[in-house]
Chain A
Amino acid sequence: MGDFVSSAPVGLKSVAYEVSHSKSGLAGIIILASILLISMVAVFSPENIIEKWNDPQAWLDKPRLAAPEWVTIFTGQNSLKTVIIKQEDFRKDVQKVAGLNTTKIELRARITYNYDTIPTEVNLNLEIISETRSLLTVRWVRPDGSSVLLLREAVEAGQKSVFTYRDRTVFENVQAYLQKLAAPSTLSVGEVLFSSEDSLLKGTAKLLKSSDVKPSRPYELVVEGVSESKFFDVNAQLNLLGSVYGLCGTDNMRRDIFVGIVWGAPIALAFGLVAALVVTLVQAVFGAISGFYGSRVDEIIQRVTDIYLVLPFLSLLITIQFIYKTTIWTLLIAVIALSLFGGVTKSVRSMALQIREEPYIEAAKSYGASRPRILFLYILPRLLPYTFANITVSVPAYVFLEASLSILGLGDPALPTWGKIISEAFSGGAAYYGYWWWILIPSIFIVLVSTAFALLWYSLDKVLNPRLREE
């Protein structure tokens, strides 16, 4: 007696086994598992990315509109990735000038620069602790020994950010330097900083690498502060921002698109899965009830479905979102509420009409199965393959729906979703300027989710549909 029980099907376990042993199922599982893993990172991360995402100040140490780092493999260029010289990496010299009661602090950063491109931005963040004004001098020393004065001014204590490419004082100082060399004043600050003085004398800007001088020498940034304050201190951080960044590049607000992808993954999955599952199952159950019970129940469900089918779904959603500016989860409820009846109800009903006339339904009736039991154990399982197919088809459809609403500017106002990244790329002119990563990467993830579900369904169908089962 004992051994037959173990040979009876163990349900989910055996289904999972068979799916994972088919090639398409495995591929689907791997893709989906990776996306799920990414989602887990987002869900369990202690960082409050969602708040950070919408805070422009939080992304200042990232380059604007940088391509992904791996494009350098294809361009062959050794493009600058972001280089950040933190305050502890500055060499600090403190000198007390005896008698004069002043303190002089010198900070020196060394940057070995062997990249093929100049940085897109050179930003210096200063922290000055002093009770009086202090004199600040910032100099840039090239490997060839020449130096450019960037800044010399009296500053108040506190935080100071110097965007060298955009700072007015720096610009004037650089112009003065160019005049001294009789070089054309059209050169940009970046070009001036990263060219050899020789080339500037000739009127051109030629990138100078550390390795161009023998022996190789780094660039140096020298910050000098002089103050009479007793507890005078200066700290600095230097950001050299490149033209490539991270795995997925950045957008026009310097935000790392990879972060958006990771935090958008659970949202896309949850929105797509919940909407597809609930909508399809509810519609299927209504369809089955309609077909199986027939008569008045059928009539009511079918007429309600007709009404639902003519409701302008997208327009209603847009109206709801336009007026209420709701979160994505309220939007999800609206989507479900607007799709309680629909195409699946109609097709499942027609299938149920056919199935309810089959002899095994009558047989079940004759051994006393109640109507709900027949509906759920005898009719609905027959509709499962179709329902599953529909769920897998609609998961991507709902991910797309979220993206479309975002493009129309009607997505969730706060959350980083894949659709929102694409929508921002659209409004940021990514297609026009060729910031392909901004559009392509979130799109690829949307496609990946669809592919994963399609592959998964393909193998699930082989297992769940007894007619396709092979022993």
Chain B
Amino acid sequence: MSVLLSLKGLTLYYRTRRGVVKAVDGVSFDLKEGSCLSLVGESGCGKSSMAYAIMRLLPRNTHTYCGELIFDGKNLMDLTENDLRRDFWLKKMAMVFQGAMNSLNPVLNIGEQLAEPFTIHLGLDKLEALKRAAELLELVRLPNSLLDKYPHELSGGMKQRVVIATALSLRPKFLILDEPTSALDVITQANIINLLKRLQEELNLTYIFITHDLGLSSELSDYIAVMYAGKVVELGDIVSILTAPKHPYTQKLLAATPKLLEDAKLEFIPGSPPDLAYPPPGCRFHPRCPYVMDVCKVREPEPVKVSSEHYVSCLLWERV
């Protein structure tokens, strides 16, 4: 399998009143075509900012945006926004936003909504675009009768499916799913995950799946990247991460996940994620780390290869 997406030192800082927030701070990884990478981490650790950085959908208050972002052999950094709009967004890469409930235009009905990409990009007339919209609904297993319904008439799961359908309208091969199942009940979550799995097989999609639910991520992904304070602290294939986590943060995160068959007491990680405007020096996890050493407070860890596809950024492992 070839590499579809390759990040090298991807950085995204925001300008805020409190100072410069380092939301994504030098993230590097490669993503193979047809695989799924889960980005997990606590709230506010830069998961969604990663998504925006990869999509190059930058907020108004962007301070720094740099690094290398190679998608399908092209460095997206070299392209203008118009190039992206014309050739990439929706045609090659698309994003399903956090909170699908609010990702639909409340004044357009589902038909018009789904027809939008065809009108914008392909210049189809209304009738033709509506026909394509109906096909999209079929793709995500929704009835055609939804075409003239408005978003507020749909259930959360239906809206999520519509949002996924919109993202797939021009058949991109890469999809960023930003917490596509948050705010949905578990049955609907399962349905959506199954749908995503099926779509991945049918359309040979590559996913980046952003979630804070390790259980869900294990359902869908081949790789897991654990983010902490704007950095990827551990990256590996799903089996090694879930069975043999190396980074203390990953270990703690897993320990904090409820397990069905064990009656173990849930652990929690003391403290809260750092303020990204003023992250701690050295390893960003050191104030909360149970194995903290003096060197952790000064030196930033580099990724260490643990096994063929397993990397960890921790000074404990650098030593070994």
Contact = CB atoms under 8 A, between A and B. Distances in A.
Q: Decide whether A and B assemble into one complex.
A: yes
Contact of B106 (A5, A360, A365, A471): A360
Given A8-B147, A368-B86, A362 B97 contact: yes
Given A367-B89, A368-B90, A469-B150, A382 B130 contact: no
Contacts of B102: 358-360
B134 A467 contact: no
Interface in A412-471: 466-467, 469, 471
A359 B103 contact: yes
B166 interface: yes
A294 B94 contact: no
Contacts of B130: 4-5, 8
Interface string B178-205: 0000000000000000000000000000
A365 B166 CA distance: 13
Nearest to B59: A362
B163 A363 contact: yes
A51 B97 CA distance: 67
A9 B107 CA distance: 12
B97 A368 contact: no
Contacts of B85: 368, 370
A369 B90 CA distance: 11
Most B CB contacts (10 A, CB to CB) among A366, A368, A467 go to A366
A366 B81 CA distance: 11
Contacts of A9: 109, 148
A1 interface: yes
Interface string A199-229: 0000000000000000000000000000000
Given A7-B148, A8-B130, A368-B90, A362 B153 contact: no
Contacts of B32: none
Given A360-B103, A367-B90, A5 B97 contact: no
Given A8-B148, A359-B98, A366 B55 contact: yes
B25 interface: no
Contacts of A368: 85-86, 89-90, 117, 120-121
A378 B104 CA distance: 10
A125 to B, nearest CB: 67
A166 interface: no
B8 interface: no
B131 interface: yes
A381 B107 contact: yes
Contacts of B117: 367-368
B106 A467 contact: yes
Interface in B59-117: 60, 85-86, 89-90, 94-95, 97-99, 102-109, 111, 116-117
A471 B146 CA distance: 13
B320 interface: no
A4 B150 contact: no
B107 A466 contact: yes
A364 interface: yes
Nearest to B107: A381
A21 interface: no
Contacts of A377: 105, 108, 116
Contacts of B244: none
A373 interface: yes
Interface string A347-381: 00000000000111011111111100100011001
A364 B113 CA distance: 10
Given A370-B85, A377-B108, A365 B120 contact: no
Nearest to B106: A466
A363 B101 CA distance: 12
Contacts of A358: 102
Most A CB contacts (10 A, CB to CB) among B97, B106, B144, B163 go to B106
Contacts of A360: 102-106
B141 interface: no
A1 B57 contact: no
Contacts of A367: 89-90, 94, 116-117, 120, 166-167, 169
Contact of B152 (A370, A373, A466): A466
B307 interface: no
A406 B105 CA distance: 46
B87 to A, nearest CB: 10
Interface in A6-23: 7-9
B261 interface: no
B91 to A, nearest CB: 8
Nearest to B117: A367
Nearest to A366: B95
A294 B134 contact: no
Contact of B103 (A7, A363, A373): A363
B145 interface: yes
B31 to A, nearest CB: 19
A110 B282 CA distance: 119
A364 B106 contact: no
B1 interface: no
Contacts of A362: 57, 97, 103
A358 B150 CA distance: 17
B121 to A, nearest CB: 6
Interface in B136-164: 144-145, 147-148, 150, 152-153, 163
Nearest to B143: A4
Nearest to B111: A8
A466 B150 contact: yes
B264 interface: no
A4 B55 CA distance: 34
Contacts of B260: none
Most A CB contacts (10 A, CB to CB) among B108, B127, B130 go to B108
Closest 9 CB pairs of A and B: A381-B107, A359-B102, A363-B103, A4-B144, A368-B85, A367-B90, A368-B89, A466-B150, A359-B103
Given A362-B97, A367-B120, 9 more contacts: A4-B111, A363-B95, A366-B57, A367-B117, A367-B167, A368-B90, A368-B120, A369-B120, A466-B152
6 contacts: A4-B144, A7-B148, A8-B130, A367-B169, A368-B90, A368-B121
Interface of A: 1, 4-5, 7-9, 294, 358-360, 362-370, 373, 377-378, 381-382, 384, 466-467, 469, 471
